[in-house]
Amino acid sequence: MHRSFILSAIVFFCLTVFCFSARADSSESVFIGSSKTDITPNFPVVLAGYGGRTKEFEGIDALLWARCVVIGKDDPAVLVVVDNCGITKEIRSKLAGRIAEFGVSEKNLVVSATHTHNAPSLRGYAPILWAGRTSPEQEKKIDKYTSFLIDKMESIVIEALNNRELMKLSWIRGAVRFGGNRRVIRNGKWSGFGFQRNGPVDHSLPVLVARDLKGEARVVWSNYACHCTTVGGRNHISGDWAGYANEMIEKDFKSALSLMTIGCGADVGPQPSGGLEDAKIHGSSIAKEVKNLLGKEMIPLPGVTSVKGSIAKLPLAKPLPRKHWESQINVGGFQGQLAKAMLNQIDSTGRISSEVEYPVQSWNFGDRLAMVFLAGEVVVDYSVRLNAELDWKRLWISAWSNDMPGYIPSRRVLKEGGYEAEFSQVYYGLPGPYLPEVEDTVVNAVTDLLREDFGSTKNQKMAPFHSFPSSEPSTFKRISSLLNEPKVGKGKEILEKAKKCIQLALPINASMISGQGERTEWHNFSGDFVERSFIRQSKRGIEISWNFLPNESEPIKEIILCFVGGLGWKSEPEVGGFRMLINGKNPISFDVTSSPALWSSEDQRIELIYLPTWSSELDSGGFFFVHIINPDKQETNNIKISVASDGQGSKRWFAVDLEQKIVGRLKHLKKTFE
């Protein structure tokens, strides 16, 4: 179809429809158009996302799509979302040039990627990742697919412009929780990828829907902050969880086109990961929440009433001189290719830039919603901070939009170091890490656009979706049932002891946990993941200790202290258990259990009561109570508790939570009797 014919059709269409004002009341209708097209390659091409895959894809697990929504009649806002790892500013610019003649202003265009790691590599994306590692023929196929994708994106923008009709817009926010922070931190530093369960996340799921005048959903746009890497390095094409989410939403709403954009999830990974079935499960969780949300009352919106944008200058560490890069030229690998790129930059411009141009864009829907579009792989700290500095109840943040400069780390991530902060910069052709000021630069660029109309409210509460919800409230209810269940025999005796300990325990936190304990994260008394210090029975005498300061000046008959921790790996051999000492004496021997237990010193003067409140087949977490009868003077002022392995050759473990919060938790325990 010739462009002149399409242009004439659009003009005719515009002359025969109702005029729409960008400042229309939120109850009025808005011109909306949408379209999608299959962008699955029909020729061999290398996939982006994982540098270890240097051969063309070996199969297709699911089709790839480009999707478009157009909002407004005059000077419309246009969103294009593609199933790909990332879109460069050069690709966006080429698309913008092609669609300008159809009335689309470049400032109004957003091009986003779902960041699936199972789509073809595009020209300009992570250039050092492929430099020197692909054949000339593979490079031609990358260029061929890049041109193919630009053609496809152009076609769906034109089609969406052409099929606009009056619809009503509304939005709502829900939540899904499969995203988990992937930066494993040990002793304040990055130690690899995994599941940092107490790390920041963004579990919000904002959803925008366009319904036709009959009330049918025609466009469903969702946003979630998580890497699209569930499938892993499988050399097959697919849209990963985002692709499956779109597919399932379109099955639920058969007249709708579904678009999935990605929030600030550069350091957030899908949990669990490992294959197609996990990706389908994650996609299903999105689709189920969307279906649930669309059945609720939503907030009506006008069209896009204003579009704003700016280019921030992100500061890099001072680039190293030419001499350094010349010394790296023969190193080989990524460093050698980066050196070549830096020397080319010096030869062509006379210097290596110490800044990265960074586009920031916003779409405002009256005063009811501000959408922010950030470039690159933005870590979740930016969502946390922007949701504090702006009114998070009216804020939507997308990343992987309009350019692909690489990872955008926060001050915290730069301090911790590791992949997102440091060596990922090489793949994107950057000479070094960002300076800590990068965080303020990005945040200020966004708040400058939105502060006047979307600033935070007075005494604004923190957004509730940046951490995994605690299981503690439900656990305390479960403890109440446990303590009030009828028991007989020894079980009854132990629970009665536990009840007494809860009522009389001193509200004092343990302090100065020290010794030979290792640190890890595992399930605490409520099943939440917390940081712990633990010892195993792998070697006799490994010890951990901590202190309590009762500060009792008058003689007393008993002291009861409480701490939280756990015991685990019941299937490992029994080799002698653990030994607890109070101020270096009165040893108490105990071992791994997942049932309430009572152990005593030989003179019966000191008891250790364990009340497990979370358990699996192998491990448990709960409350430990140390009951001291007729304490001596030293015990009323300073009590040092130490636990050591009394056996060896077994992986059985004992752990103490590093964050105790005993004062508040005892209050909750005592309420179980009310």
Q: What is the pLDDT at residue 15?
A: 32
Cβ burial 283-297 (10 Å sphere, 16+ → b, else e): bebbbbbbeebbeee
Distance CA 323, CA 177 (A): 49
Can you give the pLDDT at residue 7? Answer: 36
Pair of tokens at residue 226: 């998580």
Concatenated DSSP letters for 397-438? EE-SBS----EE--HHHHHH-STTTTTHHHHTT-SSPBPTTH
Distance CA 411, CA 532 (A): 25
Closest CA to 567 of 556, 575, 555, 578: 578
Angle between helix axes 3-15 and 136-162 (nearest 10 degrees) is 30
As a whole number of angstroms, the distance between CA 412 and CA 185 comes to 11
Residues 185, 191: Cα–Cα separation, whole Å: 6
pLDDT at residue 555, rounded to an integer:
77
pLDDT digits 0-9 by tens, 598-618: 999 999 999 999 999 999 889
What's the confidence (pLDDT) of residue 12? 32
Q: One-letter amino acid identity for 502?
A: I
pLDDT given for residue 529 in this prediction = 81
Bridge partners of 200, per DSSP, are none
Q: What is the pLDDT of residues 420-477, one digit of tens each?
A: 999 999 999 999 999 999 999 999 999 999 999 999 998 999 999 998 887 888 888 8
Residues of the chain with pLDDT under 70: 1-27, 486-489, 673-674
Quick check: helix, strand or coil at residue 546?
Answer: strand
Residue 594's contacts (CB-CB under 8 Å, 6 or more residues apart) are: 567, 570, 612, 615, 616, 619, 620
Tell me the pTM.
0.78
**Per the structure block, which two tokens stand in for 370?**
């501000």
> Where are any strands of DSSP class E within 297-390?
299-301, 306-315, 355-365, 369-374, 377-378
**What radius of gyration, in Å, describes the C-alpha atoms of the chain?**
30
All domains of the chain in start order, with CATH: 3-301 (no CATH), 306-454 (no CATH), 472-671 (2.60.120)
Cβ–Cβ < 8 Å for 492, 653: no
Listing DSSP states for 78-134 in one string gives EEEEESSS---HHHHHHHHHHHGGGT--GGGEEEEE--BSSSB--TTSSHHHHTTTS
Taking alpha carbons only, the member of 155, 159, 158, 153 closest to residue 87 is 153
Q: In the chain, count of helices (H) and strands (E)?
A: 16, 33
Angstrom CA distances, 484 to 478, 481, 665, 666, stand at: 10, 5, 18, 17
Token output for 604: 């019966």
* CB within 8 Å of 586: residues ≥ 6 apart: 601, 603, 605, 606
Express each pLDDT in 310-359 by its tens digit. Answer: 999 999 999 999 999 999 999 889 999 999 999 999 999 999 999 999 99
Residue 639, SS3 per DSSP:
strand
Q: State the pLDDT at residue 551.
A: 80
Q: Which two tokens stand for residue 590?
A: 């105990």
What residue ranges in 195-344 does DSSP mark as E strands?
204-212, 217-224, 236-237, 257-262, 268-270, 299-301, 306-315
Residue type, 217: A
Cis amide linkage into residue 272, ω under 30° from 0: yes
Q: What is the pLDDT of residue 2?
A: 40
